[in-house]
């Protein structure tokens, strides 16, 4: 089996030489899915995984825009349309200077499995730009978004491809993108999700990714007859996912002691309560300031410049910043300090070495494609409401989100539990995500 996986990976590496993140994401899937394929008559010998790792379409384009001082800039735009076997391409747009083909292909590939797990009919895609929103004025952001959509509009549509937010793309950016799409196409459709409530958005969509990872952690803890209540939680990141993960943890009686941004992390031994969280939301969403401001406002907290929070003792870790933010050394430190559960909020935040440590220690570990699927699932619910031209209540959407997270958890148990009762959530998520897409691809023939 090892040889089979290695032969497959050699081909992947040869074809995608300069794409380390994409290769990493494929390797994780190959290690769990290839043994499964070999054991199943219907999938064996059909080269399904080979077909799944090749995007159906990759679009790159130029975005020229003018800053507030009249200077002209050029950025690169992308949309990776990875797989549409079970529904229109669906996935976020990321605006960050690190964006490149490798990052977006890994995200699009993960999205295929994640979207399949949600139980909703969504294919997988991802897009974005190497544009850096940091320090840009609202007017510059607006001009950039308008110019981005002036090209992207040709490639998307409510039945074709439905983008949403990701790092650097929040409700402000979705507004500008939607405005330009509506103007060029002269139609009001659910072509983007994460929209404002008065123009087609869904209640709970902003909260959904963060709430979802906590619901997933609660599902995992229930298998050990345990819960979030009374637990110490370490969170990385301070964007949308981290903020609402913290809110749900606090509501469920846990104590959040860390949050971070790219400049470092803060440790608040007394816990970040709802009032302090409100301050963080204002700091990050309105003032757009740095996280060290927190210690000026709450001097009992400490700021650790340039560090990640994984050395602080906690019961549960929620990595909500970005890919590969938690390495093997961090994983060892978490385990040594008594961490029993990790629920990923970001996409692929744990390195393969870190995941190996979690599995070796047999603690609860949920990969992002399962635990952070609540965001895109609620995007799917936004699409449904747009099609119905109707809005569900907050309670209705939240209940559906909780049901979806429980169903994803059940799928992970179905395919990930071994003879001893230990659940490998990576294996479970990969195989469950694969089966639905593979069955659809088989049914539709070789195309
Ligand atoms: N960017 C989010 C993700 O990684 C959400 C995508 C969406 O809502 O389409 O799943």
Tell me the CB-side half-sphere exposure of residue 139, using CA atoms within 13 A.
5
Rounded to the nearest whole angstrom, what is the distance from the C-alpha of residue 375 to the centroid of ligand 1? 6
pLDDT at 323: 97
| Residues 125, 43 share a domain | no
Residue at 146 is within a domain? yes
pLDDT at 233: 98
Of all protein residues, whose CA lies closest to atom 8 belonging to ligand 1? 376
CA 229 to chain centre: 25
Q: What is the pLDDT of residues 305-359, one digit of tens each?
A: 999 999 999 999 999 999 999 999 999 999 999 999 999 999 999 999 999 999 9
| Residues 350, 219 share a domain | yes
Distances (CA, A) of 444 to 33, 84, 161, 431: 21, 11, 19, 20
Q: What is the rounded distance in angstroms from the CA atom of residue 386 to the CA atom of residue 401?
A: 17
Please name which of 172, 314, 185, 178 lies closest in space to residue 254, comparing C-alpha atoms.
Answer: 314
Residue at 323 is within a domain? yes
Catalytic residue among 114, 126, 195, 369: 126
Question: Are 245 and 221 a contacting pair, CB within 8 Å?
Answer: no
pLDDT at 130: 98
Rounded to the nearest whole angstrom, what is the distance from the C-alpha of residue 35 to the centroid of ligand 1? 29
Q: Is residue 212 in contact with ligand 1, taking CB distance under 6 Å?
A: no
Ranges in the chain, pLDDT < 50: none
Q: Is residue 371 in contact with ligand 1, taking CB distance under 6 Å?
A: no
| Residues 129, 228 share a domain | no
Residue 17, domain extent? 2-52
Tell me the CB-side half-sphere exposure of residue 321, using CA atoms within 13 A.
22
pLDDT at 178: 98
Counting Cβ atoms within 10 Å, is residue 353 exposed (0-12), middle (13-18) or buried (19+)?
A: middle
Among residues 319, 342, 371, the one where a domain terminates is 371
| Residues 355, 228 share a domain | yes
Global pTM value: 0.97
Among residues 52, 71, 90, the one where a domain terminates is 52
| Residues 256, 348 share a domain | yes
Please name which of 400, 404, 408, 341 lies closest in space to residue 370, comparing C-alpha atoms.
Answer: 408
Q: What is the pLDDT of residues 384-403, one digit of tens each?
A: 999 999 999 999 999 999 99
pLDDT at 289: 94
pLDDT at 11: 96
Q: Is residue 379 in contact with ligand 1, taking CB distance under 6 Å?
A: yes
| Residues 241, 294 share a domain | yes
| Residues 42, 78 share a domain | no
Among residues 371, 394, 422, the one where a domain terminates is 371
Question: Are 365 and 354 a contacting pair, CB within 8 Å?
Answer: no
Q: What is the pLDDT of residues 246-275, one digit of tens each?
A: 999 999 999 999 999 999 999 999 999 999
pLDDT at 444: 98
pLDDT at 121: 98
Q: Find the radius of gyration of the CA atoms of the chain.
A: 21
Q: Is residue 343 in contact with ligand 1, taking CB distance under 6 Å?
A: no
CATH assignment at residue 263: 3.40.50.720
| Residues 226, 361 share a domain | yes
Residue at 326 is within a domain? yes
Nearest ligand 1 atom to the CA of 205 is 8
For ligand 1, mutation pick of 79, 88, 91 (most atoms within 8 Å of CB): 91
pLDDT at 96: 98
| Residues 353, 264 share a domain | yes
Q: How far apart are the first and last CA of the chain?
A: 28
Question: Are 110 and 347 a contacting pair, CB within 8 Å?
Answer: yes
Residue at 380 is within a domain? no
Nearest ligand 1 atom to the CA of 165 is 1
Q: Is residue 376 in contact with ligand 1, taking CB distance under 6 Å?
A: yes
| Residues 65, 43 share a domain | no
- As for how many domains the chain has, the answer is 3
Count of beta carbons in the 10 Å neighbourhood of residue 258: 27
Rounded to the nearest whole angstrom, what is the distance from the C-alpha of residue 391 to the centroid of ligand 1? 20
Rounded to the nearest whole angstrom, what is the distance from the C-alpha of residue 164 to the centroid of ligand 1? 6
Tell me the CB-side half-sphere exposure of residue 366, using CA atoms within 13 A.
36
pLDDT at 37: 96
Check if 276 is active-site: no
pLDDT at 432: 98
pLDDT at 85: 98
Of all protein residues, whose CA lies closest to atom 10 belonging to ligand 1? 376
Residue at 340 is within a domain? yes
| Residues 232, 352 share a domain | yes
Residue at 379 is within a domain? no
Per DSSP (E only), the strands in 67-174 are 72-83, 89-95, 124-129, 161-164
| Residues 149, 276 share a domain | no
Question: Are 372 and 349 a contacting pair, CB within 8 Å?
Answer: no
Rounded to the nearest whole angstrom, what is the distance from the C-alpha of residue 229 to the centroid of ligand 1? 28
Q: Is residue 375 in contact with ligand 1, taking CB distance under 6 Å?
A: yes
């Amino acid at each position: 089996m090892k040889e089979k996986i290695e032969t497959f990976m050699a081909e992947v590496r040869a074809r995608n030489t300069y794409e380390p993140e994409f290769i990493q994401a494929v390797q994780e899937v190959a290690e769990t899915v290839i043994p499964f394929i070999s054991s199943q008559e219907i999938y064996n010998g059909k080269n399904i995984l080979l077909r799944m790792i090749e995007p159906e379409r990759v679009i790159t384009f130029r975005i020229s825009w003018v800053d507030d001082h009249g200077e002209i800039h050029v950025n690169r735009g992308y949309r990776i349309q990875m797989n549409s076997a079970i529904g229109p391409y669906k996935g976020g747009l990321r605006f960050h200077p690190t964006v490149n083909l490798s990052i977006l292909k890994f995200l699009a590939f993960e999205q295929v499995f994640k979207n399949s797990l949600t139980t909703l009919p969504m294919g997988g895609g991802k897009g974005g730009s190497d544009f850096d929103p940091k320090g840009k004025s609202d007017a510059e952001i607006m001009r950039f978004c308008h110019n981005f959509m002036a090209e992207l509009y040709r490639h998307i549509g409510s039945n074709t491809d439905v983008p949403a937010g990701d790092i650097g793309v929040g409700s402000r950016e979705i507004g500008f993108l939607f405005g330009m799409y509506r103007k060029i196409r002269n139609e009001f459709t659910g072509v983007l999700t994460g929209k404002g409530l008065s123009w087609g958005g869904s209640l709970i969509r902003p909260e959904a990714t963060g709430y979802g990872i906590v619901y997933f952690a609660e599902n995992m803890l229930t298998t050990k007859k345990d819960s979030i209540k009374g637990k110490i939680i370490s969170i990385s990141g301070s964007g949308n996912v981290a903020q609402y993960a913290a809110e749900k943890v606090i509501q469920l009686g846990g104590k959040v002691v860390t949050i971070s941004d790219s400049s470092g992390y803060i440790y608040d031994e007394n816990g970040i309560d709802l009032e302090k969280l409100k301050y963080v939301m204002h700091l990050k969403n309105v003032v757009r300031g740095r996280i060290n401001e927190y210690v000026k406002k709450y001097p009992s907290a400490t700021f650790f410049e340039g560090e990640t929070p994984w050395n602080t003792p906690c019961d549960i870790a929620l990595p909500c910043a970005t890919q590969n933010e938690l390495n093997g050394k961090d994983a060892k430190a978490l385990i040594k300090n008594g961490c029993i559960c990790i629920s990923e909020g970001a996409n692929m935040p744990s390195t393969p070495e870190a995941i190996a440590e979690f599995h070796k220690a047999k603690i609860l570990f949920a990969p992002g494609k399962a635990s952070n699927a609540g965001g895109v699932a609620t995007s799917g619910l936004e699409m449904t409401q747009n099609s119905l031209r109707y809005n569900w209540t907050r309670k209705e959407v939240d209940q559906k989100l909780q049901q979806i997270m429980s169903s994803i958890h059940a799928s992970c148990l179905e395919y990930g539990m071994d003879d001893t009762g230990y659940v490998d959530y990576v294996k479970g998520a990969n195989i469950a995500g694969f089966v639905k897409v593979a069955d659809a691809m088989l049914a539709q023939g070789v195309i």
